[in-house]
Structure 1
Amino acid sequence: MLNSEFIATVEGDKVPRKYFDGRGMYIYVQPSGAKYWRLKYRYEGLEKTYAMGVYPRVSLEIAREKTEEAKQLLIQGIDPNEYKKNQGFEIVAREWFENKKDGWKSRHAQVVIDSLEKDVFPYLGARNLSAIRPPELLTIIRRIEKRGASRVAEKVLQRIRAIFRYGIQTGRAKNNPASELTGVIKTQKVQHRKALPIEELPAFIQDVKNYEGMTSTRNAILLMLLTFVRTDELRSATWDEINLEEKVWHIQGDRTKMERPHIVPLSHQAISLLKELPSYPSKGYLFEGRKAGHSISDKTMIHALYRMGYKNKATIHGFRGVASTVLNESRLYSVDVIERQLAHIDGNATRRAYNHAQYLPERETMMQWWADYLDEAQGINQVGIVGRLKGLFSR
């Protein structure tokens, strides 16, 4: 039988050598010194070889455990190599996905599989589920975080955790290494985005309407002003979320920052804008990017602001701050109504537990008031609107 000292010190010869441990298990040593664990076995009358990993990643002890597992499969009439083919992370992940996707919206299902194909399969796809360890998963998460996508990293980790849970349920994994990574996602430092000064709002709206870039970009910024949703919620919006008859936009929980469904009442102005979009009516994105079948990118609108001369003056997310300021200063609507429309979570846990109100009638009225307010901003000269705003805020 082999021992750890021999395996660690044995060197490559002029030709590949096999050193047997017993029961068909051996270590295969290449002339280069590379060492591979193998198991020789017979299945249905044919001699086969089962690969069990590379030394030193796979120790002698682990190789013996793998040999025992393979022998148990053979006793059950199962070919270890065929069984192994069904243990790969990508195979299990796609099986999990197929079982889940019918319960998701098609757009969300595409986001899920795209994230796995981009960030996980290239690194773990061929790996046996039971061989994957927490450090490997952490490397994947850090790679995503490095490109500034902490929220994506969090979602990917959730999906990996769910895939391993499915692997355990189907007998292809013994533990869930993703569960060991609780709390590893780095908390991003909150950056307060620049909000456009309210007195510059009339000129800004006119600049957007005169924007000579892509029509979809101009319309996206205008709809952002009218609805003040989050950037990702707007750019990835699809027509199946919009109900023009009921004058409402339903954003599913899997698309929101707080992972809760969000309702956006649509003003007359928002509905008119939607009906003028080139994509209306269809089943795809409201705002198509340059590539067919894809939405505008996460940089499209902010780059448009730069081209209009608003770099370091305003951000897309800052429009939410403008709307919040105007609505709060108007004193026409309660903080609860405004915060609900902004899809903020109440910081008071006790209050949050009891306040499940949607305030939809009030929000419908408020969103129409806001759209009318923006119309006034365009219809009055800048001196007039600034004066009206100052009067409003001095009440």
Structure 2
Amino acid sequence: MALSDAKLRALKPAEKIYQAADEGGLSLVIHPGGTKTWQYRYRIGGRGAKQEKVTLGNYPDFPLADARAWRDDCRGLVQRGVSPMALRRGDPTPATASPAVMEMAQAFRAAWCGDVMARERAEEAKAQAASTVQTFAEVWYSEMVEPANSNPRNIRRVLDKDVIPAIGGKQVSEVTVTDVLAITDRIKDRGADQMALATRNVLKRLFSYAIAREVATFNPAAAIEAKFIATAKSRDVALTPDEVGRLLRAIYRSSMKRAQKLALHLLILCMVRKSELIEAQWDEFDLAKAEWSVPAERMKKDRPHFVPLSRQAAAMLEELRGLAGGSAYVFPSTHNMNQPIAHSTLNVAVRSLAVDVRDFVIHDFRRTASTCLNEAGFNSDWVEKCLAHEQKGVRGVYNRAQYASQRRDMLQWWADFVDAQVQDTGGKVIIGPFGKASQVA
């Protein structure tokens, strides 16, 4: 049956390309991405001849009436032995053609070819822009990541920090394995092997979507096995009390900067994430009250977080205020006092340690504290609140308590417990002028 404007508007894309036929060889081709293109099929020389096809442009840029007028002009040329596709390519009209046919071909070029080719060039340029990594990544993020992830900020950070600056201007279909390796190698050079692996996994998902949307035919990230980037680390590492003591003794005996030693110690005592500590600013602290209020925009779940400070933690921060040199940041960069230290700084410092402790990452400090506190019999709600973990379900809805006094007592117990592990050594470890003593034997 012939097409109508109502039928055309009702046509929806499917997983595969399909056609909706009109009459006289005219049809509309519907692509999975939603593009709808007019097409005319014909044979010059009768049924036994090879079928050819020519395209006009997209609907609704060319409405149904225009498409039928174009089809009729194409049919007139075919009946006279002239290929519309050849005219579109710019081929000359056959020398044997009569003057009337030559005039018809010239009119066809004037009416359709120039306009269509100009539109096609514009559409091609538009398609090129739409299929760059940056533009396509935004589509993938809004359509697939945000709706399906309760916390998509980690993926957003990967795209903004490492992917788009490196290959954002490239066509998705032109990204190679070498491009992906260059990105992961740069991340590993920062001392963040696990982040390099996570970035490869994000790219793998992005290109899988690109293949499904027919923007690419190859997944360069999937071609790289994870083991060639980094070995995935178990997320079940919790250091024993003895390992905590050995680690801190190694930290204070090392040649790393004093502020870095205190930062690693504070991560163990305060149970916060690394980014929450190294990006901290002095206006978040009330050291007189031994309180730290982390603003929502710096928290993983976009909720403000309150940290009661133990005596040791407050003393360390007093020392750090002197080391900060007037910067607004607790841990200012040595290159720019108006910025915090890089995220890789503490990772590099830890990797330089000579310490007999099993493989761990800084994030495992949180699990270590949680494990020790739960084993010591503290209320799990207090522990989860220190970790800024929000409970789900009915219990989470009704349990909004901050447990401020309980958490303060618990974190003080934890700081004293950690002190005890450091003291359990036969040699001297110079820790510094904070806490209960300047020297631990």
CA distance in structure 1 between the partners assigned to 2:115 and 2:282 by the alignment? 59
1:365 aligns with 2:409: yes
Percentage of pairs with the same residue: 27
The one of 256, 262, 275 aligned to 1:219: 262
Counterparts of residues 75-114 of structure 1 (less than 5 Å): none
RMSD: 5.0
TM-score by length of 2: 0.48
- Asked if the contact 1:239/1:281 (under 8 Å) is kept, the reply is no
The one of 340, 345, 355 aligned to 1:300: 345
Deviation at 1:369, TM superposition (A): 1.8
CA distance in structure 2 between the partners assigned to 1:260 and 1:319 by the alignment? 21
Counting matched residue pairs gives: 270
- Asked if the contact 1:262/1:343 (under 8 Å) is kept, the reply is yes
Give the AA of the match of 1:264: V
> Over residues 242-287 of structure 1, what are the superposed CA-to-partner deviations in whole Å (9 max), with x where a residue is unaligned?
2323322222333223332221111121111112121165313x22
- Asked if the contact 1:202/1:382 (under 8 Å) is kept, the reply is no
The one of 77, 85, 95 aligned to 1:6: 85
TM-score by length of 1: 0.53
Deviation at 1:337, TM superposition (A): 0.6
1:315 aligns with 2:361: yes
Deviation at 1:214, TM superposition (A): 2.5
> Over residues 70-103 of structure 1, what are the superposed CA-to-partner deviations in whole Å (9 max), with x where a residue is unaligned?
xxxxxxxxxxxxxxxxxxx99xx9xxxxxxxxxx
Give the aligned partner of residue 398 of structure 2. 354
CA distance in structure 2 between the partners assigned to 1:312 and 1:221 by the alignment? 17
Say if 1:37 and 1:374 are closer, same or farther in 2 by CA, change over 3 A: same
Say if 1:114 and 1:312 are closer, same or farther in 2 by CA, change over 3 A: closer
Give the aligned partner of residue 275 of structure 1. 318
The one of 235, 238, 243 aligned to 2:281: 238
- Asked if the contact 1:248/1:263 (under 8 Å) is kept, the reply is yes
- Asked if the contact 1:247/1:271 (under 8 Å) is kept, the reply is yes
CA distance in structure 2 between the partners assigned to 1:21 and 1:121 by the alignment? 44
Find the residue that maps to 1:27 and give its secondary structure. Answer: helix
Find the residue that maps to 2:400 and give its secondary structure. Answer: coil
Give the AA of the match of 1:227: C
1:329 aligns with 2:408: no
Find the residue that maps to 2:275 and give its secondary structure. Answer: helix
Deviation at 1:213, TM superposition (A): 1.8
CA distance in structure 2 between the partners assigned to 1:147 and 1:113 by the alignment? 13
- Asked if the contact 1:250/1:262 (under 8 Å) is kept, the reply is yes
Give the AA of the match of 1:356: R
Instruction: Give unpaired runs (5+ residues) of structure 1.
Output: 14-18, 29-35, 39-50, 59-88, 94-111, 128-132, 158-176, 178-185, 384-395
1:249 aligns with 2:292: yes
CA distance in structure 1 between the partners assigned to 2:342 and 2:196 by the alignment? 15
